[in-house]
Amino acid sequence: MKVLIPSALRSYTKAMNVEAAGATIGQLLADLDRQYPGLRFRMIDEQDRMRPHMRFFVNGVQTFDMARALSPADEVQIVQALSGG
């Protein structure tokens, strides 16, 4: 499925949109980390929780659930929260 990568992480993927597979958000991230080593830890902490400023959307609907089910036709958007300074 198509995955939108936030700008801060495109140094890993060299692209804005990539393809990845997984039956859940967690599995999708594992596949992304397999393709782009180190990517997952920048978004997910060592307790397997989404980091505070990362946001995950499936077909435009936000989710905080790593076990959220996915289908191959879904589109996943990973974005950073709009905050900084």
Partner 1 sequence: MARTTKKPAPAPRRTSARARRTAQRSRKVRLSLLVATRKGAWLFHGDHARKSWRANGPHFLGHIVSHLVLDPRDGRTLLAAAKTGHLGPTVFRSADWGRTWTEARRPPAFPKAPEGEKGRVVDHTFWLTPGHASEPNVWYAGTSPQGLFRSDDGGVTWESQSGFNEDPTFKSRAGGPQDGTPDGPKLHSIIVDPRNRNHLYLAMSGGGVHESINGGKSWTPIIHGLEVVEGFDASNFAFHDPHCVRLCPSNPDRLYQQNHCGIYRLDRPSKVWVRIGKNMPKRVGDIGFPLVIHPRDADTAWVFPMDGTSVWPRTSPAGAPSSYVTRNGGKSWRRLDAGLPKSQAWWTVKRQAMSGDSRDPVGLYFGTTSGELWMSRNEGERWTRIVEHLPEIYAVEIADVS
Q: Pick from 15, 51, 59, 64 the residue near partner 1 by CB under 8 A.
A: 51
Question: Is 8 one of the binding residues for partner 1 (CB under 8 A)?
Answer: yes
* Closest CB to partner 1 among residues 67, 81: 81
Tokens of 43: 């978004």
Region near partner 1 per CB under 8 A, out of 18-26, 46-54, 57-65, 67-75: 46-54
- Order of strands, edge to edge, in the sheet holding 17-19? 17-19, 2-4, 75-80, 54-58, 61-63
CA–CA dist 30, 84 (Å, integer): 27
Which CB, 24 or 74, lies closer to partner 1? 24
